[in-house]
Structures are given as structure tokens and as C-alpha cells.
Structure 1
Amino acid sequence: MTVTMSIPAYIPILAATTAAQSLVSLAMLSPAAVAPAIARDLQVSGAMIGWWISMAYGGAMITSLLGGNAVRRFGATRSTQIGLLLVCLGGGAMMAGTLPLALLAALLTGLGYGMTNPAASHLLARSTSPERRNLVFSIKQTGVPLGGTLAGLIAPRLTQAWGWPAAMASVALTCLGLALLLALARHSWDSDRDPKSRMTGNPFSGLVSIWRSPRLKALSLTGFAYAAVQLSVSTFAVTMLVTDLSWSLVDAGLLLSAVQVAGVVGRISIGSLADRFFGGTGTLIGLGLVTGILALLTGLLAPDWPAIMVFAILVPFGAAALGWNGVYLAELAQSSEPANIPRVTGASLFFTYGGVLVGPPAFAGLHTLVGSYTATYALTALPALAGALILMAARRRNS
């Protein structure tokens, strides 16, 4: 008797979209991982990396609005390829080693980054049953912390061996390689594209659709709030540990790695819990409440606290603050007509990327006012709890 095993249709799509998410995240975060070396060669302050990140996410906001039209006309696989090629061009511009081209590189990288999520949501929603959608979307979103982890592991070592342009080149070539590999699946995965669809459609139509839907509006506003907290957790954790708690840079870096790993494990676990027990909205509300509580506990940290206690607060803080994205994207897909998933996802991500832009500068401004990083982290409980309350109010109205 011959036993045949068939791979579920969503598995190769999940692998491809997770790989794409990992690589574009790697490209976004690699300059930050070697910022001192880049700043030295460009003769600018290391703080300029903040402007680089802001410009990149500004580019992502643009293509998140255009992604729905691109998916409809070119197909989700081709849109992913376009995103990867834009990131590749960004790496090439970065390698030139001049400030104007570095800023152009940020824009190109951001434009490519913003293309991938609407396309991935379309592909995964088509191939995944609703009962496992939260888990599948959450696995895909592990590409973000995976990309950050790879940036921290690979870019500094390549920079030390051959210089930071070599690190940028390796990322660019890897993105190019995946773009070429995706061509093998493009015909079957993009069978629903409409070549006659116009790219000139109103890019703001998705925003209008979101604002007219109480549920989508609540999800998008919550995404804005949670994203502001999420990036602040990963951006200022090391500085808080070194400055306020007198940790060494090595020990602080170890904890940050643990937070990133918690983000990966948390996204998968949270997606599974959402599918099995709590549902997407209930899970997102719970994450906001847990994040808010842990933010308040972070405000109590002091130099005399044992390291194990600091880990016990910051690692779950990272898991909660970094773990919501997959469930959020799955809820957007669940709340949209199949044909509108790329457009709605892109428009909602416009809010999320806005939170990324606003969060770290707001955190820095609040730190100037309150004088300590731990107290500023306590204040991040406000947007986390606000996002949870927004979803609670929306759910109550719909019940």
C-alpha cells in the first residue's frame, strides 16, 4: 500500500511570505545595527539613524496605501517581488556611502517594506481556513523579530570583516535572490490578478472604508497605539538598562536578545491562543491590558533589583508588546471582503506605521520631561490601555 502525503496549500505560501517579511525587516534594521560605523564614514551623528528609520517608515506608509491596487493588477506574488527589488535597490544606494543616497536608500527600503504586508495578507487569506488564520498570520509576523535578530547577528560581523557596505550588499543580494525564486510560483499564486485593473485608483479609498467601519476603525486606532509602544520597547530597552539600572552593555544586549526571542515565541503562542480560546479581538484586548500592567511594573525597576526579576518583567513585556501583529492582521482579513483584504490591510497599516513614526520621538520627549527611562516606560501603559479600551468599546457596540 502506497501512502501519499500532501502538503497543505498554505505551507509554501507561509514559508515564502515569512521569508519575505524577514528579509525586508533585516534590510530595515541592518543600518541601525551598524549605525556607528555608517555615521563615522558619512561624518554625521549616530542619532541620524533615527531620521533614516523615520524616512523608511514614511515610505512604507506610501506603499501601504498603494499596495491594494498593486495586488489587484499585478498579483500578490509580483507585488512581493517588487517590494523585494525596491529593498535591493535601497541596499545598492546605501552602499554608495553618501548622505543623499543614504536617505534615498531609506525611502526605497521603506517603499519595499510597505509592499509586502498587503500582498502577504491576500495570499494567506486565500489559502488559510478561518479557524487557523490567527496562528498562520502570527507565524508570518515572526519575520519581523527574526529580521531584527539576523540584523544584530550578521550586520556587525560583516561590517567588522569587510566594512558596512558589504553588510548592505549581502542583504540586497539576498532580497534579489528571493525575488527571483518567487518567480517560480507566480503563475499559480497570482491566478486571481486582474491585469486590466487601474493603478490610478484613489489611494485613500482604503482609509475611507476603514473610517466608515467601526470595527476596522477600532482595529486601526489600536494598531496605531500598540505600534507606538512596540517600537519604544525595542528601541530604548538597552539605554534604560545601562543608564537607569547601571547594567553593562553586554548584559543589556543579552536581555534585548531575550526580548526579541520572546517576540518570536510570543507571536506564535498568541496566535494559537487566539484561534483556540479567546478569538482575535479578545486576544488583542488582553495583550493591551497585559502590556499596560507590565509597563507600569517596568516603572518600578531600580539598580538594586536582581537581574532575574528584571528579566521576569521585561521578557513577558516584550512578548506582549511585540506579539499582537499577526492577530491584528488576521482580524483585518476576517473583517474584510476577500477582494478588499489587500486594500484594507494597507490602509490600516498606514495607521500602524504612523504609530511607529510617533512612538519613539514621543518617548524621547517624555523622557526629557520626567528624567528617567523607567518612568517613561511606565507612561507607555497609557497607549496600551487606550488601545484595549478602544477595542472593548467597539466590541460592546457590536454585541
Structure 2
Amino acid sequence: MADFPVDPPPAVTSASLTRTVLGATIITVAGVLPVFLVGGLAVQLGAELHLTPAGLGLAVAVYFGVSALASVPSGALVERYGPSVAARGSLLLVAATMLAIAAVAHSYPVLLALLALVALANPLGQMSSNAALAHQVPPGRQGLSFGIKQAAIPAGTLLAGAAVPAVALTVGWRWAFVLAAGLALATLALVPTGRAAAASPARQRGERATGALVMLGLAAALAAGAANALGTFLVSSAAARGLSPGLAGLVLTLGGAVCLVSRVLGGWLADRRTGGHLNTVAGMLVVGAVGLSLLHLAGPVALLLGVALAFGLGWAWPGLLNFAVVRLHPQAPTAATSITQTGVYAGGCLGPLGLGALAGRLGYPTMWLVAAVTMLLAAGFMLIGRRMLLRAMNRR
């Protein structure tokens, strides 16, 4: 399927392009860092705020649930006020809330309320970053730029992990949130100055293939729900199979690194194709499902191969999906990606909850098989959504 070109962005210099991509990437990191910090600092938070594993699961679910509910409204705000204004609002909200957690989070309910509040900044930052890349990056480099931006998600995990020995175990966990606030404030300097032109009413209305986008969002929800199980349950699953906690943590770190590289590489390769991006996403999900199915087997070979395939392809698709939606829906790329991003957040909320309950009743091997089937279903829905989108485009 040939892509429909996005309106050509204005001429950009190498410096401005670098600033745009770097800004979009760090804005994305700032948006997801709060929930990753809570996960990475769970031991320290648990000692002071009585954060239990169930409480941690609820906090993550609340964060992504609020993000899902706020995704479409965030897209509308970005279209109305422009990505620069939205990005600044997102960063200021992150900074203020991170400082509030450091200063006043002395109980679990307060932490949960502040995490729900800062979750509003996550989709706002994501949508503003998508808009900036769609309108300011030349088409021949958009795939790579979206891949780099989405690589910020596993990079956020690595930062949160590094915060444990570097900050939490030296000066205390609260200073990790202070540093996160400082990162958000420092990123304000990378946001382009001036208010971007808002989309015109005709552009906002466009001829949005809403049904197709909802189908793609459903596929993203299933895929994200299955893939989020990797970061949530991989260590405990491997430890239950007899792997030491240290080695299990190293396997998770390896998976995160593979995911980061795969997202960037996938974007770079997308720029060298003229279409078929949604087909590629579906293929990645099929291979990722194979990787998830391998995790139900015992033995280090199955574990390492499963992690490589599941992280390397089964969780490397979000940037390519955003790129494909932007290319195929040029009338309002921000609003379009807000619909599919809602699915990603919904999967991040519901997937670990459902799969965690399944693991508790039937064990981790069964959970990994169910996650694999879920990812296969996601691939099927992705192809159905592509077909619906093509029909909607042909009717214009």
C-alpha cells in the first residue's frame, strides 16, 4: 500500500532538525520517567510508604489508565494550541509533580494521586512530539525520527534503573524525583520558541478514517498489553524457573537494550521503503509472539532467544506505527496518533493486570502462552485496520 504524503515541512537546517528530534525524544522520556522511577525505586518506596507489589501494580495501572483517557483530548489540545505550547505544559506539569512527590509524598495514597496527576503530562508530551516530528522533519527522515523518539521509552527504563545505585542508595529516593524535575525544566530550552500555527477547522475535520484508526488502536492495545508483560513479569518469571535474581535482572537489561536498538533501526529502515509499514508492524508482532511463546519453555537458550525476539520485534513497533499513521493520515496526524496511542496506554494499563492475575492462578508458562496468542490477535487486527484504512483512503 503506497503511503499518502504528509504536507511537506518547511526547509530545516541540520541544527534545527537535531534540536527537534532531541527535544521530542527528551520530552517523551520526561513523560514516562515518573512511572518508571516508581517501579525502579519500589524497594525504597516500599520501606517508607508501605508500597506493596499489589500497590505498585495499581499505581502503574492508574498511570496508564489516566494516560489512555487523556490521549484524545491531548491530541485536540495540540491541534488547537500547537506542539510548542503543549510541550511546555507537559514539561512544567512533570516538573511540578515530581517536586511535589519529593516534598509531600509521605503515604501511598498521596503518591498514587500525584502519579495520576502527572500521567496527564504523558500523552500531552507524546502528542506534541508526534506533531513536531510530523510537521518539522522531512519525510525521508521521519521514520528514523519516530524510531529515536520511541526509543526513549526503554531509555527511560534504563535511567530509572540507574537512579537506584546512583541516587536512591546514596542520597535518598526523593532526590531522584528532584533530578527528574530538573530534567523536565532543562528540556524547556529545547522546545522551539513561538506558537505554532494551529490546524485550520478544515484540516482538523479532514476525512478521518476513524473506524480504521480505532481498529489499529485495538491492535495496539492487545500488542502493548502482551508486550508490557515483558517488563513487568520477566524477572519474576525467570527467577521462578531457578535463575538468580541478578542474572534475571541482566536478562531484562539486555531485552531493554535490544528493544532500544530495534526501535531506532526499524525507523531507519522505514525511511528506505515507500509503503507497507503496517504490514511490517503485523509481521513484527507475529515474530514477537513466537518470542513470547518461547518464554514458557524452560532453559537458558529458550529464555535468551525468546527475550531477543519478544523485545527486539514484539515491542519495537510503536515508533513504526506512529510513523505509518502520520504518513497515512496527513490531514490531522496528531489527532490520528492520539487514537492509536490510546490503545497503547490502555494495553499498558489492562495487560499487566489481566496477565498478572492469570499468572497467579495458572503460572507464568501459561501466562506467556496467552500473551503470545494475544500478540497474534494484535497482528490480525493490525492487518484488518490497514485494509479498512486503505478503503477509506480510496473513497476520498
TM over 0.5: yes
The 1:383/1:346 distance shift into structure 2, 3 A limit, reads same
1 CA distance for matches of 2:227 and 2:347? 9
| CA apart distance, 1:213 | 3.4
Q: How much has 1:297 moved relative to structure 2?
A: 1.9
Alignment TM-score, normalising by the size of structure 1 = 0.87
* CA–CA separation in structure 2 for the residues paired with 1:99 and 1:394: 41
One-letter code aligned to 1:326: G
* Partner residue of 1:7 out of 10, 14, 17: 14
User: 1:308 Cα shift?
Assistant: 4.7
CA contact (8 A) 1:77 1:186 kept: yes
Q: What's 1:176 paired with?
A: 185
Instruction: Tell me the CA shift for residue 78 of structure 1.
Output: 1.7
The correspondence of residues 146-165 of structure 1 with structure 2, limited to 5 A, is 146-165=155-174
Q: 1:193 aligns with which of 182, 188, 198?
A: 198
**Is it true that 1:167 corresponds to 2:176 in the alignment?**
yes
The 5 A counterparts of 1:265-280 are 265-277=261-273, 279-280=276-277
SS at match of 1:162: coil
- Which runs of 5 or more structure 1 residues have no equivalent in the other structure? 198-204
**Partners of 1:373 and 1:132 in 2: how far apart?**
41
Relative to the length of structure 2, the TM-score reads 0.87
The reply to whether residue 367 of structure 1 matches residue 363 of structure 2 is no
Report the AA paired with residue 377 of structure 2: A
One-letter identity of the residue aligned with 1:114:
P
Query: Greater CA deviation, 325-334 or 156-165?
Result: 156-165
Percent of paired sites with the same residue: 22
Structure 1 residue 102 displacement after superposition: 0.7
C-alpha distance 219-131 of structure 1, shift in aligned 2 (>3 A): farther
The total of aligned residue pairs comes to 374
Contact between 2:289 and 2:314, CA under 8 Å: does it hold in 1? no
| Contact residue 94 and residue 184 of structure 2 kept, 8 A | yes
Output the CA distance in 1 between the equivalents of 2:51 and 2:253. Answer: 28
Please, what is the CA RMSD of the aligned residues? Answer: 2.5
Give distance in 2, aligned partners of 1:275 and 1:251: 37
Q: 2:77 maps to which residue?
A: 70
CA distance in 2, matches of 1:214, 1:100: 38
Unaligned runs of 5+ in 2: 1-11, 392-396
Q: Tell me if the contact between 1:218 and 1:390 (Cα under 8 Å) persists in the aligned partners.
A: yes
Distance 2:90 2:47 in 1: 29
Amino acid at match of 1:115: L
- The code of the aligned residue for 2:113 comes to L
Q: Which protein has greater RCO, CA pairs closer than 8 Å, 6+ apart?
A: 2
2:351 matches 1:349: no
Q: Which whole-Å CA distance do the structure 2 matches of 1:100 and 1:240 have between them?
A: 29
Q: Distance in 2 between matches of 1:193 and 1:74?
A: 6
Equivalent residue letter for 1:319: G
Q: Equivalent residue for 2:376?
A: 385
Aligned runs of 1:30-109 on 2, under 5 Å? 30-95=37-102, 96=104, 97-109=106-118
Could you list the per-position Cα deviations for residues 290-309 of structure 1 after superposition, in whole angstroms to 9, with x for gaps in the alignment?
A: 01112222222x1xx2x355
- The amino acid of 2:382's aligned partner reads L
Show CA shifts across 1:318-338 (max 9, x none): 111220000111122122234
Q: Give the aligned partner of residue 295 of structure 1.
A: 292
The Cα of 1:174 is off from its aligned counterpart by 1.5
